[in-house]
Amino acid sequence: MRGVTIAAIAASAAGKVSEDSYGHAGDEKYGAAWVLDGATGLGDRNYIANAYSDAAWYARQLSDALREHSLSAMTPEAVFLAAIRQVAKQWHEQIGDAEVPRYALPSAAGMWVRWKDNVLEAISLSDCRGWHVGAGGTLTQLGLLDEDPNDAQVAAEVSRQQSAGVKPANMRAAILESLRMRRRMMNEPDGYPIFSIHEETTRHLQLRRMEIAPGHIVLCSDGLFRWVDIYREGSAAEFAVACIQDISGMLAQVREIENADADCTRFPRLKSQDDATGIVLRVQV
């Protein structure tokens, strides 16, 4: 396989630094690419000095670690174990003796692909998405997530708070405890899997290995995929094709919808805008 990056974007929500990250390494014969979505912090403060946020720091550190380890001879699971151990070590060096509640520990969703010859390996965790789009338009989902149950739960809670008169500026505070309750369950047996500083993360990795045909690969964070799963503007296949044609145009469509619903009433959600990241690879065999 030859994978060539032809387009990539990383756009922050209005007035903020992006807590998403993306990267790629290698060449057309042996390479890797990824998109990461740092989970916005729920603590009372940041624990990493001089960082915009712990979430932004974590996404960038994990991205750097993936750039270092992805092209090793290790299995995908071993790549992520090495990367997580590296970032966990950096985290503990940064926070010193600080006691951090579990809900305040850093984490990120992610979608990672690695290619060698005609074989593609893909790892997904949580709500970043990925697809291979064949030359004839055939769509193969790389990540294993169809719908994110957290979106529906948050939307229902936001709707209840809106009915009680809570304004967008006060929404986070109104549902903070329920958000923290869920965040405490990351990588717990009865919780949800996500990249974090916990080595048990690697037990939840969703690996797909396939031989691929010519076409494109699209990776994105959930902030861009809102066009499908929250705003219901089209299908995943239509989304992927639109990203291939003009990924910046897709971002513009997402922002136009969000700007027209800034009070989050038409589409109940916690944040009017979310960080949005996408990367497109052209596949030539």
In the chain, the domains with their CATH numbers are: 2-284 (3.60.40.10)
Rounded mean pLDDT of 209-219? 89
Specify the pLDDT at position 143: 81
Q: Is the pLDDT assigned to residue 132 strictly greater than 80?
A: yes
Centre a 10 Å sphere on the Cβ of residue 14 and count the other Cβ atoms it contains.
12
Q: Is the pLDDT assigned to residue 285 strictly greater than 80?
A: no
pLDDT tier at 86, thresholds 50, 70, 90: very high
Q: What percent of the chain has pLDDT over 90?
A: 72
Q: How far apart, in Å, are the Cα atoms of 123 and each of 18, 50, 104, 205?
A: 22, 31, 25, 6
Q: Is the pLDDT assigned to residue 188 strictly greater than 80?
A: yes
Please give the biggest Cα pair distance in the chain: 57
d(CA 67, CA 65) in angstroms, rounded, equals 5
Q: Is the pLDDT assigned to residue 11 strictly greater than 80?
A: no
C-alpha triplet 156, 53, 123: angle, nearest 5°: 70
Specify the pLDDT at position 151: 74
**pTM greater than 0.85 (yes/no):** yes
DSSP H helices, 70-167, are: 76-95, 149-163
Specify the pLDDT at position 256: 96
d(CA 218, CA 202) in angstroms, rounded, equals 23
pLDDT tier at 152, thresholds 50, 70, 90: confident
Q: What percent of the chain has pLDDT over 70?
A: 93
